[in-house]
Chains A and B, each alone.
Chain A
Amino acid sequence: MATLWRFTLFLCMLLMACGGLSLASKEAKTRSSQTETGTHNTTEEGGHGAGPITTLPIVTWKWDHISVQYLVALWVLVCWLCKLLIEANHNVTNYIPESALLICSGFILGGMIWGADKVQTFSLNPTVFFYFLLPQIILDSGYHMPNKLFFTNLGAILIHAVIGTCWNAASLGLSLWGCHMGGAMGDLDIGLLQYLLFGSLMAAVDPVAVLAVFDQVHVNEVLFIIVFGESLLNDGVTVVLFNVFDAFVSLGGGRINAAEIIKGIVSFFVVAFGGSLVGIAFGILISLLTRCTKNIQIIEPGFIFVMGYLSYLTAEMLSLSAILSTTFCGVLCQKYVRANMDESSVQTVKYAMKVFANGSETIIFVFLGISAIDKVIWVWNTGFILLTVFFVFVYRFIGVFFLQWILNRYRLVPVELMDMVIMSYGGLRGAVAYGLAVLLDEKKIKEKNLMICTTLIVVYFTVILQGITMKPLVMWLKVKRAAVAEVSLLEKITNKMFNHTLVAIEDISGQIGDNYFRSKWRHFEEKWMTPFLMKPSARKKQDDVFDVFHQLNLKDAMEYVTEGERRGSLEFVRNDSAILDFKKKLESEYTEAMPDIPPYMIHDDGNLILIAPLEIYLIRKLADHIPSVSLEMHEQTMKAMREPEAVDVHHLLDQHLYKSRKQYRHGFSRSDFKINRDEKEVQEIFQRTMRNRLESFKSAKMGVSPPKTLVKYSKKEQAVTDSCNGREKGHPKYGHLRCSTHLPFQRVKQLGKSWFKGR
C-alpha cells in the first residue's frame, strides 16, 4: 500500500509538472512573441533566434525545441503509469474492467489539468487518434485473429456488420428526427440529414471497446468472434455512411436525387472491397518479403509493422476503409509470416505488437476521460442525450435478435438466446465514434458540441456501465464460457479425420456444403499460394498435426529446463530397462554406425548406469558446440529419460544438434575402415539409430521391469568392455564426470580424447 501511495504522489507531481510546463510553454510562447520586437530575452527563453546573447551560456533552457516531443513522451508515460496503478490491485479489476478505470483516471487527470490551466489543453485529437493510435490496435487484431473461426462465421459477421450497422444508423437517425419533430428536444437546429449523419457515426460498434471488455469476460469463442468480427468489419459501412451523409449535408437537401443515392450505394461496395483488396495486396507483399529476409533476421520483425501501417495509410489515402485494409492484411499474412520467419522473430513480432496495441488502447481510454473535462464542449439537452442513449441500446437489441433469428435457420449450431443477449449487450461504442464526432464540420453542423457531448456520454455509458455489468450478466445468464483449450494430439488427428470424413460424406451425398468449399480452398492454397508465399524450407513443416506435435515438444523442453534448474542437483538415472532392447538394436545397427564408441557402462552403488554411445556423442557435441554448457544438462536429459515426454526433449535436442553436426569432424576414429564412408551417410545412419533407440527406450520403460544384470554386448565389444571394465569400476574419471555439476569444456574434450586414445 505504501508503494501505491508513493506512486500516486509521484503521478500527481508529474502531472503538476506537466501542467506547469505546458503553462510555462504557453507563457513562454506568448512572451516570446512579445519579445520578438527586440527586447532581449531572459534566460527562460533559451534557444537561438530569441535575441542577442551577451555572454557564453553554459547551460540553457531549451524547452521550445523539444516541447512537443517532451509532452508526447510524458503523456505516454503518464497513461502507462495509470495503467500500472490500476493493475496493482487485482480485486478491483475483477469487478470493474480496466477500460472503465482508465477513463476514470482520465477524469482525474483532466480535472487536474483543468485546475492548473483553467482550460483543457489536452484532448483526444482525431488526427492523432486515427493515424497514430488506432492502426496498431487493428493490426494486432488482424494478426492474432483466429482465422478458422473467423471464416467459418464470416457469413454471420458480414450480415451483422453491414445490415446491422445500417439498421442502427437509420433507426437512430429517424427516431431522433421523429422525436425532434414531436418536440421532445426543444429548440435544436438539426435537420433530417444531420440526424442521419449523427446516427451513422453512433452506429458503429467499436473494436477497441469490445476487445477491452470481452477480454476479461472470456465468453465462448463463437459469440466473441461474431461480436468482434462485426466490430472490425463494420468500419467499411461506417466510413461509407459517414462520408455519404457528410457529403449530403454539404450538398444540402435539395440536391439529393436518385443518382446521388445510387452513388452512395456504389461507394459502399467500392470502399469495402477496395479496402479489403488493399489489405490483401499488402498481406501478400509482407509474405513475399519475409520469404527473402533470411539474412537480415535482426530487423525482420520491423517489416510487419511498417507494411501494416502502410496498408492503413494507403487505404486512407484512397479514401477506402483503412480498418478493413489493415485487418485483412493481418489476417492474410499471419500464416505465412509465422512460417517464413525465424522463431525468435515471430516471438518478437507477437510481443511488440501486443505492447503497441495495449499501450495505444491505454492512451485512448485515458484521453477519452480527459476530453470530457472541458467546459467548452458541454451543451446539455436532456431530451437529445437521454433519447440517444435509450435508442442506441434498444435498437441494438432489436437488430441483433432479428438478424440472428434469421441466421439461425441456416446455421448448423444455432446461436442460443442467451448468447444473443450478450451479443446485443456487447455492442459497445467507443473512441471511433468520438473521433468521427470531433471531425464534424461545425460550420455545417451547428450543434456539433451537443453531438460531441452525446457521443461521450454514450461511450461512457457503454464502456463503463455495460462493461462493469457484463461479467455479472454473463454469469447470471449462464452463458457458455470459453473452453480452456488444451490441445492433445489425438484430438488434432481426429479433427483432421473428421474433416476428411465430412468431405467424403458430402461427396457421397452429392451435395455441396461448407466442407466442400473449405477443402477446395485448402487445395488452392496448397497448390498456388503456399509455394508462392512461403519459403521452401518452411513448406515442409506445414501441417496442423505436426504443428501441435512441435508445440507440445517445445512446451516439454521448456518445462524440463525449468524443472531441472529447480531441482539443481544430480540424480543418477536407472536405465537398466533400456538395456534389453538395446542389445537387440545394438547388435544389428549401431555397430556399423559407430563402432568406435562402444556402449559405456558405469557401475555405481550397485546400479547400472548406462552412458550409451549416443550420450557420449551428445556430451562431446554439447561440449564442443556450446562451450559453457554444464554437463548438468546432460544429467537432466538422462534423468529425464524416465518420463515419456523426455524422449521428445531428446528428440528436440537431437534435431538441433543434427543441424550443427554438419561442421563437426570426428577426431577419434579408431578403425580405419570408416574413412571412406561419406559423412552424411554416417549422419543418417546415426540419426536413424538414435531415433530407434529412443523408441526402444520408451517402450522398454513402459512395460519391462528393470533387471539388474550386467549385460554384455556383442562379442565385438566384449573385448572392449572387458578392457574397460577395470577402469569403469573405479571410475575416477567418469565417475568424476557424473558427479560434477560444471565441467568445463576443455576438461571434457581432454577426457574424451584420453579415453579413446587410451585404448
Chain B
Amino acid sequence: MFILFESLDRDNRGCLSPDDFEALGGLAMNPIGGRIMEAFFSSGQDTVDFSSFVRILAHFRPTDRNRNKEGAQQELPSSRTRKLKFAFQLYDMDRDGKISREELLQVLRAMLGLQVTEEQLQSIAERAIQEADLDKDDAISFDEFKKSLEKTDIDTKMSVSFLK
C-alpha cells in the first residue's frame, strides 16, 4: 500500500495533494471524480497523509461476514454503516448532514447530464427525495439514506477485491 502511495505522490512530499490526484487521467474522466477527491481531503485540509489515505481506502474492503458478529463490527471501517457514511458524504458536499435537492441535482447532472433534459433531472431528483424523505423536510438525512438502501447489497457494491 505504501508503494502505491509513493507512486502517487509525485513530488515526494510524503503526502498527496489535489494535483497528484488530477494527474490520474481516469479520475478526470470520471463524472464524480471531483467528489471522490474531496472525500479524501476531509475537514478542509490540503494534503492527505498516508494514514488517512489508508483509512479512506479501508472503506472499500470487503466486509468480513463470518468474523466478530458482536458489537465489534460497528467499529470496523469496512462495516456497512461506514460504507454508507462514505457514500453519503459523496452526495453531501457541504457536510451539513443532509442531502438537499440541490446537492442531489448536482450529482444527477454530473452523471446523467448529457442524456436527460434539465426538467427531467429535476423531476427525477424530486421523486428520489420524495421516496426517501420520511420526515418531509425536503432533504435526505443519513438515517433516511440508510433506510432506503437497506435492501441493496452495499457490501458487494462498495468493495474492491484486491483490498482484502
Interface of A with B (CB < 8 Å)? Answer: 412-413, 483, 486, 488-491, 493-511, 513-515, 540-543, 545-546, 549, 552, 644-645, 647-648, 651, 688, 691, 695, 698-699, 702-703
Contacts and interface: CB of A to CB of B under 8 A. Distances in A.
Contact of B127 (A509, A542, A648): A648
B151 interface: yes
Nearest to A539: B115
B159 A412 contact: yes
A506 B26 CA distance: 10
Contacts of A483: 151
B15 interface: no
B115 A541 contact: yes
Contacts of A505: 36, 57, 60, 160
A500 B21 contact: no
Nearest to B62: A412
B148 A497 contact: no
Range of interface residues on B (Cβ < 8 Å): 35 or more
B96 interface: no
Interface string B107-121: 110011001100110
B50 to A, nearest CB: 14
Interface in B10-40: 21, 24, 26-27, 30-33, 36
Contacts of A691: 119, 122-123
B134 interface: no
A648 B123 contact: yes
Nearest to A541: B115
- Of A413, A507, A508, A695, chain B has the most CB atoms within 10 Å of the CB of A508
Given A509-B57, A545-B112, A489 B119 contact: no
A541 B155 CA distance: 30
A413 B151 contact: no
Given A500-B32, A541-B115, 18 more contacts: A412-B156, A489-B131, A490-B131, A493-B107, A494-B152, A497-B111, A498-B157, A500-B30, A505-B60, A510-B7, A511-B160, A513-B161, A543-B116, A545-B124, A546-B115, A552-B127, A695-B126, A703-B138
A514 B148 CA distance: 26
A497 B159 CA distance: 13
A508 B24 contact: yes
Contacts of B36: 501, 504-505
A504 B27 contact: yes
Contacts of B136: 702-703
27 contacts: A489-B124, A489-B131, A490-B149, A491-B151, A493-B104, A493-B108, A494-B149, A495-B157, A497-B87, A497-B111, A498-B157, A504-B26, A508-B24, A508-B57, A509-B4, A510-B7, A510-B8, A511-B162, A513-B160, A513-B161, A542-B115, A543-B112, A545-B108, A644-B130, A648-B123, A691-B122, A703-B138
Contact of A501 (B128, B149, B158): B158
A748 to B, nearest CB: 29
Given A488-B131, A698-B126, A509 B115 contact: no
A311 B125 CA distance: 43
A142 to B, nearest CB: 25
B145 to A, nearest CB: 8
Given A489-B131, A651-B123, A702-B138, A501 B24 contact: no
A503 B26 contact: yes
Given A500-B30, A543-B112, A413 B158 contact: no
Chain B, interface SS category: helix
A35 to B, nearest CB: 74
B139 interface: no
A507 B37 CA distance: 12
A262 B30 CA distance: 47
Nearest to B159: A412
A686 to B, nearest CB: 13
Given A412-B62, A496-B111, A501 B32 contact: yes
Contacts of A511: 160, 162
A503 B87 CA distance: 14
A645 B127 CA distance: 8
Contacts of A507: 24, 26-27, 30
Contacts of A504: 26-27, 30, 32-33, 36
- Residue of B108, B119, B138 with most chain A CB atoms under a 10 A cut-off: B119
B127 A489 contact: yes
Nearest to B39: A501
Given A510-B7, A546-B115, A688-B119, A500 B149 contact: no
A28 B136 CA distance: 80
A475 to B, nearest CB: 21
B160 A506 contact: yes
Contacts of A644: 130
Given A490-B148, A508-B27, A546 B116 contact: yes
Nearest to B108: A493
Nearest to A501: B36
Contacts of B87: 494, 497-498, 501
Contacts of A509: 4, 57, 160, 162-163
4 tightest A-B CB contacts, nearest first: A507-B26, A489-B128, A498-B157, A504-B36
A644 B127 CA distance: 8
Contacts of A508: 8, 21, 24, 27, 57
B27 A540 contact: no
B47 to A, nearest CB: 15
Contacts of B162: 509, 511, 513
Given A412-B161, A504-B33, A509-B4, A488 B148 contact: yes
Contact of B115 (A412, A488, A543, A651): A543
A490 B27 CA distance: 24
A195 B115 CA distance: 59
A552 B36 CA distance: 30
Contacts of B107: 493, 497
A478 B127 CA distance: 36
A218 to B, nearest CB: 16
Give the one of B107, B120, B149 with max A CB within 10 A: B120
A501 B30 CA distance: 8
